[in-house]
Amino acid sequence: MKIPINLSELATHIGAELESEISDIPIEGIASLSKADHTKVSFFSNRLYRDDLSQTNAAAVILKKSDRRFCKRPMLVMENPYLGYARAVSLFTTPITHAPGIHHTAWVSPDAELDETVSVAPQAVIEAGARIGRNVFIGPGCVVGSGVEMGDDCQLIANVTLCTGTRLGKRVIIHPGVVIGADGFGNANDGGKWVKVPQIGGVLIANDVEIGANTTIDKGALEDTVIGEGVKLDNLIQIGHNVHIGKHTAMAGAAGSAGSARIGSYCMIGGGVRIAGHIELVDHVHITGGSLVHQSVREAGVYSSGVPLDTNRHWHRNFHRFKKLDDMARRLKTLEGEVKKEQDL
């Protein structure tokens, strides 16, 4: 699409209803409410920025119908302004393209199968038996292990390691520092000494998955670790062996799941969440940030755990009381029994 585009064209592209007396305002880009000028469109989806909304100089603002009264500028009204923002910003972003070919400092095994459209950057390594589809980009310093399979249009941005047994679907984006298919944490105890359990599964990643920087996904112990279609993983996430994540689930930064957990589809896992092994979360579960999930969640909904931030003084006081809860519960039960006896007399 040509840039700039007029406001009515933008409304059609993002699926919004235009509320403006002038429909041919030229739009050259997108910016925050506080930085946007008469050539930029912005969006509003968080009430914390209501003051910025009322004062913005944006050419137009993408917002919900319920927020129209706070805006003095032309409006692009839709139910999900953040989705509108995502669609709009794609218009003003030039995709990075990579010329096909293998850089002279890369090493590609003669036993690997690469489509002629593949681009291999400096210092990358592709081992024997790897099979790589059309329009794949393998960034600098990446390692593609023996027998790894990659579907069309995948991108390994930089310094990504795909270990043996890893299979990627189509349009998978993997950001710098990711390691997929390393051994899971499997050790058997032999009289106080640890004996390594060989990990013989792989990792199966479906279409349209995106994996953030420095995230790790372990191979399965016996069967595959599975990441479903459209899953979005943030930075610094740990996925243990044999974990299954259902389609279109999103996990925020520093979250982690121990081995053999099963996480449903369309779930949202907040930052810093810890999920215990061998438990199940059904579809449409939302776990808020910092929570510890130590048992299965069998009904859809929003779940939280943890102690909210407090002053150090109050936290210590409540912590000491918490340690006495068991004793207090026993005494309360005893008192209730004595009261019941008196009532029965």
Assess whether 322 and 198 both reside in one domain. no
Assess whether 244 and 194 both reside in one domain. yes
User: What is the reported pLDDT for 3?
Assistant: 75
Assess whether 154 and 293 both reside in one domain. yes
| Predicted confidence (pLDDT) at residue 1 exceeds the cutoff of 70 | no
Neighbours of 94 (CB within 10 A): 6
In this predicted structure, which of 19-33, 159-173, 233-247 has the lowest mean pLDDT? 19-33
Assess whether 281 and 299 both reside in one domain. yes
In a domain, 134, yes or no: yes
**Which one from 241, 244, 286, 320 is the annotated catalytic residue?**
241
Please confirm whether the linkage preceding 4 is cis (ω < 30° from 0).
Answer: yes
User: What is the reported pLDDT for 277?
Assistant: 97
Assess whether 105 and 253 both reside in one domain. yes
Assess whether 261 and 177 both reside in one domain. yes
How far, in Å, are 233, 245, 247, 267 from residue 283 at the CA level? 17, 10, 9, 6
| Predicted confidence (pLDDT) at residue 41 exceeds the cutoff of 90 | yes
Non-local (6+) Cβ contacts of 314 within 8 A are none
Residue 336 host element (H or E): helix 325-344
The strand pair at 256-257 and 238-239 is best described as parallel
3-state helix, strand, coil in the chain (%, to 5): 20, 30, 55
In a domain, 240, yes or no: yes
How confident is residue 259, by pLDDT bands cut at 50, 70 and 90?
Answer: very high
Burial (Cβ within 10 Å: 0-12, 13-18, ≥19) of residue 168? buried
- In the block, residue with structure tokens 């310094």: 159
- From the list 237, 278, 291, 284, the residue with the least C-alpha distance to 265 is 284
Assess whether 135 and 48 both reside in one domain. no
Print burial letters for 286-305: b (CB count within 10 Å at least 16), e (below 16): bbbebbebeeebeeeeebee
How confident is residue 284, by pLDDT bands cut at 50, 70 and 90?
Answer: very high
Assess whether 245 and 289 both reside in one domain. yes
Assess whether 281 and 212 both reside in one domain. yes
**Greater pLDDT, 212 or 22:** 212
Distance (Å, rounded) from C-alpha 36 to C-alpha 29? Answer: 9
User: What is the reported pLDDT for 95?
Assistant: 84
Assess whether 64 and 186 both reside in one domain. no
Locate 167 and state its tokens. Answer: 């299979």
In this predicted structure, which of 260-269, 289-298, 308-317 has the lowest mean pLDDT? 308-317
How confident is residue 288, by pLDDT bands cut at 50, 70 and 90?
Answer: very high
> If you average pLDDT over residues 207-222, what whole number do you get?
98
Percent with pLDDT over 90 in the chain = 90
Burial (Cβ within 10 Å: 0-12, 13-18, ≥19) of residue 331? exposed
> If you average pLDDT over residues 275-296, what whole number do you get?
97
Task: For residue 244, indicate whether it is catalytic.
Answer: no
How confident is residue 65, by pLDDT bands cut at 50, 70 and 90?
Answer: very high
User: What is the reported pLDDT for 248?
Assistant: 98
Q: Which of 91, 113, 145 is the last residue of a domain?
A: 91
In a domain, 96, yes or no: no
**Greater pLDDT, 341 or 274:** 274
Assess whether 48 and 112 both reside in one domain. no
How confident is residue 2, by pLDDT bands cut at 50, 70 and 90?
Answer: low
Q: What is the CATH number of the domain that holds 271?
A: 2.160.10.10
Distance (Å, rounded) from C-alpha 344 to C-alpha 279? Answer: 46
In a domain, 285, yes or no: yes
- Please state at what angle helix 7-14 crosses helix 81-91, rounded to 10 degrees: 120
- Structure confidence by residue, pLDDT tens digits, 45-59: 999 999 999 999 999
- Structure confidence by residue, pLDDT tens digits, 128-164: 999 999 999 999 999 999 999 999 999 999 999 999 9
As for how many domains the chain has, the answer is: 3
Assess whether 67 and 10 both reside in one domain. yes
In a domain, 69, yes or no: yes
Domain that holds residue 212: 101-303
| Predicted confidence (pLDDT) at residue 318 exceeds the cutoff of 70 | yes
Taking all residues of the chain, what is their mean pLDDT, rounded to a whole number?
95
User: What is the reported pLDDT for 344?
Assistant: 77
Q: Which of 63, 91, 119 is the last residue of a domain?
A: 91
Distance (Å, rounded) from C-alpha 87 to C-alpha 273? Answer: 29
In a domain, 180, yes or no: yes
How confident is residue 341, by pLDDT bands cut at 50, 70 and 90?
Answer: confident
In a domain, 114, yes or no: yes
| Predicted confidence (pLDDT) at residue 75 exceeds the cutoff of 80 | yes
What pairs with residue 62 in β-bridges? Answer: 43, 76
Q: What is the CATH number of the domain that holds 44?
A: 3.40.1390.10
In a domain, 229, yes or no: yes
Q: Which of 72, 91, 110 is the last residue of a domain?
A: 91
What pairs with residue 210 in β-bridges? Answer: 173, 232
